[in-house]
Amino acid sequence: MPKELAKLDHLAVGYDKPLISDITTSINSGEIIAILGPSGIGKTTLIRTISGLIAPIEGSVERLVPKRGGLGYIPQRLGLVRHMSVKANVELGARCRTSIWYPAFAPLPRQLRNEVEEAIEKLGIIEHLNDPVRILSGGQQRRVATARALAQKPQIILADEFLGELDDDNVEIVLHIVKEMVRKQGCALVMVEHHEEVARSIADRIWLIEDGKLKEVEP
Ligand SMILES: Nc1ncnc2c1ncn2[C@@H]1O[C@H](COP(=O)(O)OP(=O)(O)OP(=O)(O)O)[C@@H](O)[C@H]1O
Ligand SMILES: [Mg+2]
């Protein structure tokens, strides 16, 4: 049985005036939702409002996941600590798990360290494990941000164009990994995606943003 993880009720998002208004819908466990729409329409603003980083202009977002670690976010601009290693960045995800709290720089237990390395390995950047993030290519940095979210094991992952700058093979690899995570752990993935075919191939639901409204369409 899918579980409701977030509820959007007559939500309007934006800054001084609404960009998208009257959104009433929910996010459920085990589903992949793709957000489509032109540049500048408000997709990132919607994601950030769902995450709680921006307050709604009207209506509400109810997050029914643990406050700590329940929500994972892969920002469009990644938000990596560029001078720190790939490993240290991905460990930040593991440190944010709901179940545990390891203060920054305290060593992580072996089990968690293994999981961090597994995530990095799966995403094909293990040879950069100890390299500072700033020397990695754009696509490699995107995979670090994805590994960090995987290591956190959140119930909802909000991914803002996390497939950008990846070649076709890497898009396949990353999609396979996140799909597996959604199916196995029953989390939800909400992804902003510019490539309509990619979105339609993976998503269970599509949110199309048009003329200041969210329209749910068939994938
Ligand atoms: N912090 C901010 N303060 C005021 N306006 C903002 C802010 N951030 C974004 N905007 C404006 O809100 C609008 C929507 O921006 P947003 O980043 O949500 O679009 P988007 O759909 O994600 O676009 P893209 O596909 O290019 O990433 C834009 O006109 C942008 O200039
Ligand atoms: Mg955006």
Distance (angstroms) between ligand 1 centre and the Cα of 46 equals: 10
Residue pair 191/159 in contact (Cβ under 8 Å)? The answer is: yes
As residues whose CB is below 5 A from the ion ligand 2, the structure lists 43-44, 76
Nearest CA to ligand 1 atom 6: 15
pLDDT digits (tens, 9 = 90+) for 15-72: 999 999 999 999 999 999 999 999 999 999 999 999 999 999 999 999 999 998 999 9
Nearest CA to ligand 1 atom 11: 40
Q: Quick one: average pLDDT of 118-129?
A: 96
Q: Give the integer Cα–Cα distance in Å for 126 and 118.
A: 9
Ligand 1 neighbourhood includes 149 CB (under 6 angstroms): no
Ligand 1 neighbourhood includes 39 CB (under 6 angstroms): yes
pLDDT of 96 reads 87
Percent above pLDDT 90 for the chain: 83
Residue pair 176/122 in contact (Cβ under 8 Å)? The answer is: no
pLDDT digits (tens, 9 = 90+) for 184-208: 999 999 999 988 999 999 999 999 9
Q: Where are the alpha helices (DSSP H) in 78-167?
A: 86-95, 110-122, 138-152
Ligand 1 neighbourhood includes 48 CB (under 6 angstroms): no
Spell out the SS3 assignment of 148-201: HHHHHCCCEEEEECCCCCCCHHHHHHHHHHHHHHHHHHCCEEEEECCCHHHHHH
Pocket test for ligand 1, best of 15, 41, 45, 54 (most atoms within 8 A of CB): 45
Nearest CA to ligand 1 atom 16: 42
